[in-house]
Structure 1
Amino acid sequence: MTHTGIQAILTDIEGTTSSIRFVHDVLFPYATAHIPAYVRAHHARLADIFADVRALSGREDLDVEGVIEVLLTWIGEDKKATPLKALQGQVWEEGYKTGAFQGHIYEDAALALKAWHDQGMKLYVYSSGSVPAQKLLYGYSLKGDLTPLFSGYFDTTTGPKLEGTSYTAIAEALALAPEAILFLSDHEGEIAAAKAAGMQTQWVWRDQAHANAVQSFAQIEVKS
């Protein structure tokens, strides 16, 4: 599918550039297994995360073990909680750096991102995972260090991915008209929110062919 008048591309990660299975079968289990020991060992410098967990859970009396319990519950629920995402990023950093795993990137996504970058297109990421976690996935990916391709990153600190105001805020941060930005995602709700904000959008649905979606980045043509 062809998109014209594009000055920047904003992409989701999970299910779009990276396999959902990698996130759910590798990253989440690793975080579940390692967060308890990590929190116990580093709780003295996690005061801000602890405060956010207590505020979001409505339980101001949580001690270290209580915070751990809430965090593990949120992982099981796949809750898009900013303090959880921040902590997961710290734990995953250890995993990436020790070689426990590498970030999965679809071959077609890696090739397209490199081609668009070479065209002079500005590339950005918007994911529910924290910005540090995003940089780790792309920096320690199976396709090598892809972070030089990106000009910036956005996470839930910008706003929820299902709200149009979040995409308006991103457009303002990039100093671009929304219609000059192409947003890529596997999630129809995110596509709808970005479209409501005026962005051009492309639904990426890898599981099966669909009239309104592409199964590969190779099917996306971008023109400035």
Structure 2
Amino acid sequence: MTLHLTARTVVLDIEGTTGAAGYVHGELYDYARPRLGPWIDAHPDDTDVAGAVAQTKADAGLADDAGTAEVVALLHAWMDGDVKATPLKTLQGQIWAAGYAAGELSSHFFDDVVPQLRAWHGRGVHLAVFSSGSVASQVPWFRHAPAGDLTPLIDAYFDTVNAGPKRDAGSYDTIAAALGRAPGELLFLSDLPAELHAAREAGWQVVGVRRAGEPNAGADFGDLPIIESFDGVEVDS
């Protein structure tokens, strides 16, 4: 069965929704892991790097003069535990952006995603992204897609810094205001029920994405509408 919906803007989760979680936790994490320490040491005057290091120390209760090795040990522990920590996402995003620019990385999209994004865009539906990964990592993810540069399709990018936690209804209020849309004009696609419930609480339309083999394939979506690929939903503006 295909869902037929009307929305002015579709907002997309990334990991497990548009691309495989295993790619993020495999290739991208493996790329960032050995580069965290050298990246921190090479960019002492970068305000985002300095802020991420300071926040890491504060979150962990480390001394202000703690060295890079202590900070990186915590960052690695967060990576191992899949902790959605903002300073980690900031540093990973910068490292990945550099890797994409150097041609050392590319992103991953499920086969059904890009044709539908182009179809929705062609019908006047606007597209945006809301991911726990930083905006700095989201943009190159779409720019360096195997299918080519997809950034012309995307109007806006949101993360936990400029919008808020993904399981907080207030974050979706923030996004709606930033996009200038009424909540009912927005559709959120995600593989995490808790995020979908938060968006629905904010008055959004929501659709769960249950992809075989992905970490959240067995999640309890309750009464939420579900698709197994983007082919399962048609959206018009």
Q: TM-score range by the shorter chain?
A: over 0.9
Aligned residues between the structures: 224
Partners of 1:3 and 1:165 lie apart in 2 by 27
What is the alpha-carbon distance in structure 1 between the residues aligned to residue 35 and residue 53 of structure 2? Answer: 17
**Is residue 2:40 matched to residue 1:35?**
no
Cα distance in 2, alignment partners of residues 60 and 193 from structure 1: 36
- Greater shift in the superposed pair: 164-173 or 35-44: 35-44
Give the match for residue 214 of structure 1.
Answer: 227
Q: Distance in 2 between matches of 1:40 and 1:173?
A: 35
Q: Secondary structure at the match of 2:112?
A: helix
Match of 2:226, as an amino acid? A
C-alpha displacement at 1:5, in angstroms? 3.6
- Which consecutive unaligned segments of at least 5 residues does structure 2 have? none
Instruction: Show the counterpart of 1:51.
Output: 54
Deviates more, 1:203-212 or 1:171-180: 203-212
Structure 1 vs Structure 2 CA RMSD = 1.8
* Residues 43 and 64, structure 1, Cα contact 8 Å, conserved in 2: no
Asked if structure 2 preserves the Cα contact closer than 8 Å seen for 1:185 and 1:202, the reply is: yes
1:118 alignment counterpart: 122
1:111-134: CA deviation from partner (whole Å, max 9, x where unpaired):
111111111111000000000100
**Shift, 1:3, TM fit:** 4.4
Q: Secondary structure at the match of 1:182?
A: strand
> What code does the residue aligned with 1:217 have?
F
Letter in 1 for 2:229: S
Cα shift at 1:139: 0.6
Which residue matches 1:223?
236
Contact 1:35–1:68 (CA under 8 A) maintained in structure 2: yes
With structure 2 as the length reference, what TM-score do the two structures score? 0.89
Tell me, yes or no, if the aligned pair for 1:8 and 1:123 is still in contact at 8 Å. Answer: yes
Q: TM-score, normalised by structure 1?
A: 0.93
Q: Secondary structure at the match of 2:44?
A: helix
Greater shift after overlay, 177-186 or 75-84?
75-84
Q: CA deviation at 1:222?
A: 1.1
Which residue of structure 2 aligns with residue 146 of structure 1?
150
Instruction: Name the % identity.
Output: 41
In the TM superposition, residue 53 of structure 1 has moved relative to its aligned partner by: 1.4
Q: C-alpha displacement at 1:41, in angstroms?
A: 2.3
Is the CA contact (8 Å cut-off) linking 1:2 and 1:223 kept in structure 2? no
1:49 maps to amino acid: A
Q: Return the letter of the residue paired with 1:219.
A: G
Matched-pair contact (CA < 8 Å) for 2:125–2:235:
no
Corresponding residue to 1:161 among 159, 162, 166: 166
Aligned ranges 1:75-224 → 2 under 5 Å: 75-157=79-161, 158-207=163-212, 212-224=225-237
